[in-house]
Structure 1
Amino acid sequence: MDQIAHKFLHINGLKLHIAEIGSESSPAVIFLHGFPEIWYTWRHQMIAVANAGFRAIAPDFRGYGLSDPPAEPEKASFDDFVNDIASIVDSLAISKVFVIAKDFGTMVAYPFVLRYPQKIAGIITLNMAFMPPAAFKSHPLPEGFYVTRWREPGRAEADFSRFDVKTVVRNIYILFSQSEIPIANENEEIMDMVKPLTSLPSWLTDEDLAIYGDLYEKSGFRTALQIPYRSYMSLGYTEEVPKVEAPMMLILGEEDYALKVPGMHEYVKSGEVKKYIPNIETRYVPRGCHFVHEQFPDEVNQLILTFLHANKHLSKV
Structure 2
Amino acid sequence: MTFPLEHHYVRTNGRTLHVVQCGPAGGPLVVLLHGFPEFWYSWRHQLPVLAAAGFRVWAPDQRGYNLSDKPTGVAAYRLSELGKDVLGLLDAAGHAQAILVGHDWGGIVAWWLAAEHSNRISRAVILNVPHPRALGQVLRQAPRQLLKSWYVFFFQLPGLPEWLFRRRRFRFGRGSLRGTSRPGTFPTEELSHYVAAWAQPGALTSMINWYRAALRHPSRTGRVTIPVQVLWGRQDAFLEPELAQLSLRHCDQATLTYFDQATHWLHQEESAEVNRLLLKFLGPELPDFPSV
Q: TM-score, normalised by structure 1?
A: 0.81
Distance in 1 (alpha carbons) for counterparts of 2:72 and 2:151: 27
Alignment correspondent of 2:129: 128
Alignment correspondent of 2:238: 258
SS at match of 1:68: coil
1:82-101 to structure 2, matched below 5 A, reads 82-101=83-102
1:114-263 to structure 2, matched below 5 A, reads 114-132=115-133, 136-138=137-139, 139-140=142-143, 141-142=146-147, 145-165=150-170, 167-177=171-181, 201-219=183-201, 220-232=203-215, 234-237=218-221, 242-260=222-240
CA contact (8 A) 2:108 2:130 kept: no
CA contact (8 A) 2:50 2:57 kept: yes
Alignment correspondent of 2:11: 10
How far did 1:133 drift? 7.0
Distance in 2 (alpha carbons) for counterparts of 1:154 and 1:119: 37
SS at match of 2:7: strand
Distance in 1 (alpha carbons) for counterparts of 2:54 and 2:118: 23
Amino acid at match of 1:70: P
- Check 1:2–1:215 CA distance in 2 against 1; reply closer, same or farther (3 A cut): farther
* Larger helix share, 1 or 2: 2
SS at match of 1:64: coil
Higher alpha-carbon deviation: 128-137 or 16-25: 128-137
How far did 1:175 drift? 3.0
Distance in 2 (alpha carbons) for counterparts of 1:38 and 1:174: 16
Q: Which has the larger radius of gyration?
A: 1
SS at match of 1:177: coil
Q: TM-score, normalised by structure 2?
A: 0.87
Which blocks of at least 5 consecutive residues in structure 1 are unaligned? 179-200
CA contact (8 A) 2:135 2:243 kept: no
CA contact (8 A) 1:79 1:234 kept: no
CA contact (8 A) 1:22 1:54 kept: yes
SS at match of 2:43: helix
Which blocks of at least 5 consecutive residues in structure 2 are unaligned? none
CA contact (8 A) 2:12 2:88 kept: yes
Aligned counterpart for 2:276 among listed residues 302, 306, 314: 302
Alignment correspondent of 1:43: 44
How far did 1:177 drift? 1.9
Distance in 2 (alpha carbons) for counterparts of 1:289 and 1:144: 16
CA contact (8 A) 1:252 1:283 kept: yes
CA contact (8 A) 1:143 1:149 kept: no
- Check 1:142–1:285 CA distance in 2 against 1; reply closer, same or farther (3 A cut): closer
Distance in 2 (alpha carbons) for counterparts of 1:134 and 1:207: 34
Q: What is the aligned length?
A: 281
